[in-house]
Amino acid sequence: MSDKPRAKVAFLFGGYPHQSEIFLLNDLRALRKRGLDFLIVATKRLPDIPESEGIDVEVLVRPRFPSLARLTATLRFFFTHPLRCVTIFVKLVVGHLKSPGSLVWVLAGVPGALAIGYELCRRGVTRVHALWANYPATFGWLIARGFGTPFSYSGHAADIYVTGRLLKEKTELARCVIICSRATAEQLKGIVGKRLGTKIRLVHHLIDHDRLPSRSKTPDDTILAAGRFVPKKGFEVLIKACAILAERGREVHCVIVGDGPLREPLERLIAQTGLPGIELRPWMDHDALMELVARVGVLVVPSVVAPNGDRDGIPNILLEAMSIGTPVVGTRVGGVPEVVIDGKTGLLTEPDNPATLADKIGQILDKTCQIDAITGHAGELIRREFTLSDTTETLHGLLTD
């Protein structure tokens, strides 16, 4: 019998559970079933959602406001490890000089991170794993530097391309870095260099094929997209593409599911088109969304590179649609081309081009491409490359190494 102690992992989140982070909840649920002992540390505890049910673990909330716990932890750490305290402070300041707003936010969070660090040590946590490369990983790095707890982190898209800070320092200290798309992995390698790049592991998010519905035998002509209403999602391009389809004589029914800061601009753009068939729907639970995916004519991922450099990795809804057998149209942005192979597993177009996007959507709805062959190849790819058991074992191994 191994003398290695039972692993207890602390997963670091921002807000938990968040509707736009269902892909992370899927990973946690699978790891829980695999027997991983873990708890969750969140900056803010959000109301439960259906997708967080079944994970059933303790959630610690990192103190954010002035409190005795924050003060005690800060004083204790400073007087116990003064040099280490100063070193960490200097690193944080230097690493955030180009982003004063981020610096203020991070420094304000240090006392709470120290309080959590002491608590995790008391609980015998053997690994701190940040689910995002930006703020969660910053606090994970701080806990690792301060208390010697083994550390790792995951990266996805904006947290590498835009808001990631101290990525070299984090990667230097990390046991491993888990990245979900080749495009993001290459971006991170370019930042941290060849030597630290050897710590990067490509691990796709889990797709539980058995939980997905079957493809409807009588799909309609609805055009579906879903995600946060933020620039990188390219939903304004999709709306313009729908207007072009209408100009070509097609009756358009397009549903965009989600929410976010661009809701009002998108509503105004829809009003400008004068098309009653384009609607924005609020977030729905995952099962209901998958039922919708199963009966629409096409799932569109119109991703663009946002002005700040943000872009998609591989949206999970894209993988789920391909597993279900729903035809997909995507753009050559981020990790999308890693799974959407033009003419083989879906249709692909250049980003930020409503006319060509309309062309591709029209090909699917008019059935002028080999839809059965395309969806068949797509399903084979997803079931081969995104298997639940293999991915779970890989994640478990990386987090307990």
* pLDDT of the residue at 54: 78
Residues 184, 236 within the same domain: no
Q: H/E/C letters for each residue in 308-343?
A: CCCCCCCCHHHHHHHHHCCCEEEECCCCHHHCCCEC
* Average pLDDT of the segment spanning 76-92: 96
The H-or-E segment that residue 363 falls in is helix 354-365
Spatial contact of 292 and 260, defined as CB atoms under 8 Å apart:
no
Number of structural domains found in the chain: 2
Tokens of 40: 């969750």
Spatial contact of 80 and 86, defined as CB atoms under 8 Å apart:
no
Q: What is the pLDDT of residues 277-325, one digit of tens each?
A: 999 999 999 999 999 999 999 999 999 999 999 999 999 999 999 999 9
pLDDT reading at 5 higher than 60: no
Residue 273 located in a structural domain: yes
Tokens of 386: 């995104």
Residues 132, 234 within the same domain: no
Beta-carbon contacts of residue 166 (< 8 Å; ≥ 6 apart): 91, 92, 95, 138, 141
- What is the distance between the alpha carbons of residues 330 and 342, in angstroms, rounded to a whole number? 9
- What is the distance between the alpha carbons of residues 96 and 390, in angstroms, rounded to a whole number? 38
Residues 197, 252 within the same domain: no
CATH number at residue 225: 3.40.50.2000
Q: How far, in whole angstroms, is CA 85 from its chain's centroid?
A: 32
Predicted confidence band of residue 337 (pLDDT cuts 50, 70, 90): very high
Residue 22 located in a structural domain: yes
* pLDDT of the residue at 131: 98
> Cis ω on the peptide bond leading into residue 213 (within 30° of 0)?
no
Q: What is the pLDDT of residues 204-254, one digit of tens each?
A: 988 989 999 999 999 999 999 999 999 999 999 999 999 999 999 999 999
Tokens of 270: 């829809």
Q: How far, in whole angstroms, is CA 190 from its chain's centroid?
A: 20
- What is the distance between the alpha carbons of residues 103 and 97, in angstroms, rounded to a whole number? 7
Predicted confidence band of residue 389 (pLDDT cuts 50, 70, 90): confident
Q: How many CB atoms lie within 10 A of CB 87?
A: 13
* pLDDT of the residue at 6: 61
**Which amino acid does the sequence have at 368?**
T
Give the dihedral sign, CA 98/106/8/59. Answer: negative
Residues 313, 259 within the same domain: yes
* Average pLDDT of the segment spanning 374-393: 93
* Average pLDDT of the segment spanning 13-37: 92
- What is the distance between the alpha carbons of residues 242 and 251, in angstroms, rounded to a whole number? 9
Residues 156, 36 within the same domain: yes
* Average pLDDT of the segment spanning 242-268: 98
- State the number of CA atoms in the 13 A half-sphere of 345 facing the CB: 20
Arithmetic mean of pLDDT over the chain: 95
In terms of residue numbers, what domain contains 279?
A: 209-385
- What is the distance between the alpha carbons of residues 117 and 125, in angstroms, rounded to a whole number? 10
* pLDDT of the residue at 30: 92
Helix, strand, or coil here: 175?
Answer: coil
Beta-carbon contacts of residue 65 (< 8 Å; ≥ 6 apart): none
Residues 322, 281 within the same domain: yes
Residue 1 located in a structural domain: no
Tokens of 65: 């406001």
Question: CA dihedral defined by 204, 185, 136, 233, rounded to 10 degrees?
Answer: -70
Spatial contact of 141 and 173, defined as CB atoms under 8 Å apart:
yes
Residues 64, 172 within the same domain: yes
- What is the distance between the alpha carbons of residues 264 and 270, in angstroms, rounded to a whole number? 10
Predicted confidence band of residue 19 (pLDDT cuts 50, 70, 90): confident
**Which amino acid does the sequence have at 83?**
L
Residue 167 located in a structural domain: yes
Residue 108 located in a structural domain: yes
Predicted confidence band of residue 66 (pLDDT cuts 50, 70, 90): confident
State the residue for tokens 């609607």: 279
Q: What percentage of the chain exceeds 90 in pLDDT? A: 88
Asked which of 58-62, 143-147, 192-196 is least confident by mean pLDDT, the reply is 58-62
Residue 2 located in a structural domain: no
How many H helices and E strands in the chain? Answer: 16, 15
Residue 41 located in a structural domain: yes
Q: What is the pLDDT of residues 160-199, one digit of tens each?
A: 999 999 999 999 999 999 999 999 999 999 999 999 999 9
Q: What percentage of the chain exceeds 70 in pLDDT? A: 98
Residues 138, 281 within the same domain: no
Give the β-pairing of 278-281 and 254-257.
parallel
* pLDDT of the residue at 387: 84
Residues 49, 79 within the same domain: yes
Residues 393, 364 within the same domain: no
* Average pLDDT of the segment spanning 64-80: 92
Residues 218, 272 within the same domain: yes
Predicted confidence band of residue 3 (pLDDT cuts 50, 70, 90): very low
* pLDDT of the residue at 1: 34
* pLDDT of the residue at 265: 98
- What is the distance between the alpha carbons of residues 105 and 194, in angstroms, rounded to a whole number? 31
* pLDDT of the residue at 390: 87
Spatial contact of 88 and 146, defined as CB atoms under 8 Å apart:
yes
Residues 308, 186 within the same domain: no
Residue 124 located in a structural domain: yes
